[in-house]
């Protein structure tokens, strides 16, 4: 079982990064992370435009590739085990659960 698969009893005790690094279109953004926010919420706060539609973990529009770190998904109704194994996650449902988080947005 992956460490992010188990939700800690106290959210404040969970590991969280200081920042989320987002690679998009040849640019690198270093965004301040607020504990408990999803990747999509972090990108919005940081002014990074990212594709999204349903924000429920159903459509897959917000799919990003995890380069470094771990992300726990609140919901996932679209990514297969293979997608997850290849490093894909959903920005609208993904919550960083480690000290480092770097993602890449295709496009």
Q: What is the pTM of this model?
A: 0.88
What is the topology classification, in CATH, of domain 15-105? Answer: Ubiquitin-like (UB roll) (3.10.20)
Give the pLDDT score at 68: 97
| Lookup result for tokens 């997608």 | 83
* Per-domain boundaries in the chain: 15-105
* Per-residue tens of pLDDT for the chain, all 107 residues: 443 654 543 445 468 999 999 999 999 999 999 999 999 999 999 999 999 999 999 999 999 999 999 999 999 999 999 999 999 999 999 999 999 999 999 86
């Amino acid at each position: 079982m992956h460490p992010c698969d188990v939700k800690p009893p106290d959210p404040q005790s969970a590991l969280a990064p200081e920042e989320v690094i987002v690679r998009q279109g040849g640019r690198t953004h270093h965004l301040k992370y607020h504990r408990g926010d999803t990747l999509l919420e972090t990108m919005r706060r940081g002014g990074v435009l990212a594709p999204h539609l349903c924000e429920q973990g159903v459509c897959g529009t917000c799919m990003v590739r995890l380069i470094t770190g771990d992300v726990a998904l609140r919901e996932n109704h679209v990514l297969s085990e293979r997608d997850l194994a290849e490093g894909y996650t959903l920005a609208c449902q993904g919550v960083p659960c480690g000290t480092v988080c770097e993602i890449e947005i295709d496009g």
